[in-house]
Structure 1
Amino acid sequence: MGLVPASATSDATLLVLARGARAFADGFISVLLPVYLLTLGFSEFRVGAISTATLLGSAALTLLIGLVAYRLRRRSLLLGAAMLMAATGVAFATVHSFWPLVLVAFLGTLNPSAGDVSVFLPLEQTLLPQTVDDRERTSLFARYGLVASLTGAVGALAAGTPALIARESSLSLRQALEGMFLVYAVIALVAMAFYRHLSPAIEPPADQPPVPLRESKRIVYTLAALFSLDTFGSGFVVQSLLALWLFQRFDLSIATTATIFFWTGLFSAVSYPVAAWLSRRIGLVNTMVFSHLPANIFLILVPFMPSLGLAITLLLARSLLSQMDVPTRNSYVMAVVTPAERPAAASVTAVPRSLASSASPLISGWLLSISPFGWPLVIAGSLKATYDLLLLAMFKSVRPPEER
């Protein structure tokens, strides 16, 4: 299996490579963010507040991009987002007060989740379908997610580096953690290099006016509402807060936690090619629901496990299934709207998702500050399972072109 499907253009390759670079950075940052903030003396509640600020900022920036994207070159927007990512890394390495960090988190691109919730997502999601034939659209989204999951897993493993550096050198743990935020900034420059080589073919025609949602409006708004329920649940267990719960519940080291997330990332990677294969046989909606639902049941059960080994077993089982809905969901949204409506559909589905996910980390941080049980995991799994059942009931009969 190649990096992209046979019918894909070189632009698809560049977008996948850029996503991989960003996922590597997100992988170690999502594990190290709570460690760094605790090192600065912040409470669990404040860790959740900063996570909420990052997601609120992503939602606001995504909304802004959706409003002005048709006026600007898409390549320029991606380059600007990469520059903002670099500035975010430098700011987190040098700013240590709570409220300034909240502001940087809101304005920047920091991602407390293992998945992509940043402004890059709707931009790349809009571009990918036009770089490949419809028959291989889901396959491209699967490989896009596969690369991100693999590099994110390696990034999570790299989260053990600061503790190693602090142990083997004269640097303190805090200084080593600050260095990782500078690495995050350097990786942003790598992503920028990929974006610089995108061809003019990714740009819409100069005389093409912005196309609002028309015939697909009802479908997209309903999907946006359902996706918001799902991401509201996901916000309770963004990787930074899941790491915080593991630190709190099992008194784990950074290296052990990083290793756990490395393996969950690898297990998630397996789900992407399986999702593409399965969707061709049972359909996109069925693939989303019947892989996601058992994953959420596993998540609900994790806090009830009496040992770390059993908890990790369920987290790994969840990871094997939980990401199958990502490439299928992205492909489904792009398939059930007209090509001209794709930018609007990407923005309309992304913004409510980001807003919904931004509220729950604050609640999750508060719950973790009063109890180590793991209530955020139970709440997250319950909300996400409800989303699965509603999606099946409402969209089983709405089929993409390749399934008709």
Structure 2
Amino acid sequence: MPPPAPSSMPRPTLLPAGASPWARTLLLARALRALADGAMAVLLPAWLLALGFDALSVGLISTATLLGSALATLAVGAWGHRFSPRSLLRGAALLMAATGAGFALLDGFVALLLVAFVGTLNPSSGDVSVFLPLEHARLAQAARGPARTALFARYSVLAAACAAVGALGAGLPQWLARVGLEPLAALRLMFGLYGLLGLVLWGLYGRLPRAQEAQPAGDAAAASAGEGRGALGPSRPLVVRLALLFSVDSFAGGLLVNSLLSLWLLQRFNLQPAQAGVFFFATGLLSAASQLAAPRLAARIGLLNTMVFTHLPANVCLVLAALAPGLWSALALLLVRAALSQMDVPARGAYVMAAVTPPERTAAASFTAVPRSLAAALSPALSAALLAAGLTAWPLLLCGGLKIAYDLTLWRACRDVRLEG
């Protein structure tokens, strides 16, 4: 039998069936941001240590980045409905460009602390920036039902894969130093590239349709009924409950953002930035691969069960890694954790969007993100203080223990919630 004609063969596509074509712009923007975040999370502690700062300073600047992002996200949740989502995303992209310029040109602690607070730098493996609720709300408009879960999964998978490549790029300054560029100049160059990427995103977000043009048919009536409201309504109790629970998870995660995990690997096992970049590349690929299974798993056992029953064993591995006797056993446990810990990300985004009414989605995305960012902002300084005091196991133990408690509480508190399409 002759092979089928090329036109009849299925073609792989970035978007799931039923998603609006303009969602490709959001996926591409998320991929570019993840490339930058993956590199910066590894390079930030190396840059600050090269400038002569200590571990506590790394923690304080990480805290400032997360706290500033939380306040910006809070502002978007409270007043963002008064502005065009496209304009807000383009404004955030310009802020990203200014952040890269600030870190490339300044070297005083107070100046860097201020830029970290008002800017978009992300020291963690996840996205806690002001971009997140804005992009989530637009993604929710682009698809419905199973297609929405699949779209959120592809958004998360693409982010994890590109963050892995970005982490591998953290070895670029070391290579540039070997070919003759002064080490500090090589690190400054990376922050300059981060700023240039913000300008690229500014142009990319300009291709998004206006909110009214992006509304899927199934949500049009609901959006029309809720036009101008822009705040939480009947879903408020559920959103508050989720926000409180997510804040516990984020506080725990803030104890071990990638910048601090990189610092822990340096202090505990003398793992250098280029070597840490390879490790984060591997963990990012594992996270991306595991998230490909999230929509299929969610279709079989539900969004909530996917969130809880993949997250729980990952956190057990983290606790065991804190007690590991050597480098290879610790890395093996952290790799197993990476293969499981991010499967809840697309499920969580889809769960929040499905649990509220369409007019509440932007506010729900913001108000569940804000406590997460605020809680995550409190913990890096604590973790850095523990590392500076020589208590190297405690950040991992606290992170894993709190996350295990979060998993069990989330399942008990939300197992009877009914989801919309």
Structure-to-structure mapping, 1:120-135, within 5 angstroms:
120-135=131-146
User: Cα distance, 1:54 vs. partner?
Assistant: 0.2
Contact 2:356-2:420 within 8 A present in 1 as well: no
Contact 1:238-1:361 within 8 A present in 2 as well: yes
Match of 2:59 in 1: 48
User: Cα distance, 1:135 vs. partner?
Assistant: 2.5
Match of 1:63 in 2: 74
In 2, the alpha carbon distance for the partners of 1:7 and 1:145 equals 18
User: Cα distance, 1:272 vs. partner?
Assistant: 1.2
In 1, the alpha carbon distance for the partners of 2:207 and 2:361 equals 23
Which AA in structure 2 matches 1:127?
A: R
Q: 1:75 aligns with which of 74, 81, 86?
A: 86
Which AA in structure 1 matches 2:209?
A: S
- Structure 2, unmatched stretches of 5+, are 1-11, 216-222
State the secondary structure of the residue aligned to 2:255: helix
User: Cα distance, 1:10 vs. partner?
Assistant: 2.2
1:370 aligns with 2:398: no
Structure-to-structure mapping, 1:311-322, within 5 angstroms:
311-322=330-341
Match of 1:9 in 2: 20
User: Cα distance, 1:206 vs. partner?
Assistant: 12
In 1, the alpha carbon distance for the partners of 2:226 and 2:295 equals 35
In 2, the alpha carbon distance for the partners of 1:234 and 1:98 equals 25
User: Cα distance, 1:374 vs. partner?
Assistant: 2.3
Match of 2:5 in 1: none
1:391 aligns with 2:401: no
In 2, the alpha carbon distance for the partners of 1:158 and 1:17 equals 19
Structure-to-structure mapping, 1:3-402, within 5 angstroms:
3-169=14-180, 171-200=181-210, 201-202=213-214, 208-371=227-390, 373-401=392-420
Shift of the 332–45 alpha-carbon distance from structure 1 to 2, 3 Å rule, reads same
In 1, the alpha carbon distance for the partners of 2:200 and 2:109 equals 29
Range moving further from structure 2, 192-201 or 151-160: 192-201
User: Cα distance, 1:372 vs. partner?
Assistant: 5.2
Contact 1:74-1:202 within 8 A present in 2 as well: no
In 1, the alpha carbon distance for the partners of 2:125 and 2:209 equals 29
State the secondary structure of the residue aligned to 1:198: coil
In 1, the alpha carbon distance for the partners of 2:176 and 2:147 equals 44
Contact 2:73-2:133 within 8 A present in 1 as well: yes
Range moving further from structure 2, 83-92 or 366-375: 366-375
Match of 2:8 in 1: none
Provide, for residues 301-354 of structure 1, a one-character-per-residue CA deviation record: whole Å limited to 9, x for no partner: 112111111111111100000001111011000101100111111111011110
Range moving further from structure 2, 110-119 or 1-10: 1-10
User: Cα distance, 1:255 vs. partner?
Assistant: 1.3
Contact 1:299-1:378 within 8 A present in 2 as well: yes
In 2, the alpha carbon distance for the partners of 1:399 and 1:302 equals 37
Which AA in structure 2 matches 1:265?
A: G
Which AA in structure 2 matches 1:211?
A: G
In 1, the alpha carbon distance for the partners of 2:191 and 2:347 equals 32
**Which structure has the larger Rg?**
2
In 1, the alpha carbon distance for the partners of 2:214 and 2:371 equals 26
Which AA in structure 2 matches 1:313?
A: A
In 2, the alpha carbon distance for the partners of 1:142 and 1:135 equals 11
Contact 1:245-1:372 within 8 A present in 2 as well: no
Contact 2:19-2:148 within 8 A present in 1 as well: no
Contact 1:159-1:254 within 8 A present in 2 as well: yes
Which AA in structure 2 matches 1:217?
A: R
Contact 2:294-2:343 within 8 A present in 1 as well: yes
Q: TM-score, normalised by structure 1?
A: 0.97
State the secondary structure of the residue aligned to 1:96: coil
State the secondary structure of the residue aligned to 1:214: coil
Range moving further from structure 2, 202-211 or 353-362: 202-211
In 2, the alpha carbon distance for the partners of 1:205 and 1:106 equals 37
Provide, for residues 33-59 of structure 1, a one-character-per-residue CA deviation record: whole Å limited to 9, x for no partner: 000000011110010000000000001
User: Cα distance, 1:248 vs. partner?
Assistant: 0.7
User: Cα distance, 1:254 vs. partner?
Assistant: 1.6
User: Cα distance, 1:396 vs. partner?
Assistant: 1.1
User: Cα distance, 1:398 vs. partner?
Assistant: 1.1
User: Cα distance, 1:205 vs. partner?
Assistant: 6.8
Provide, for residues 222-261 of structure 1, a one-character-per-residue CA deviation record: whole Å limited to 9, x for no partner: 0000000000000000000000000111111221110000
In 1, the alpha carbon distance for the partners of 2:143 and 2:225 equals 22
In 1, the alpha carbon distance for the partners of 2:309 and 2:406 equals 12
In 2, the alpha carbon distance for the partners of 1:114 and 1:207 equals 35
User: Cα distance, 1:133 vs. partner?
Assistant: 2.5
User: Cα distance, 1:388 vs. partner?
Assistant: 0.2
CA-based RMSD of the aligned residues comes to 1.4
User: Cα distance, 1:401 vs. partner?
Assistant: 3.1
In 1, the alpha carbon distance for the partners of 2:382 and 2:113 equals 16
Q: TM-score, normalised by structure 2?
A: 0.93
In 2, the alpha carbon distance for the partners of 1:286 and 1:94 equals 47
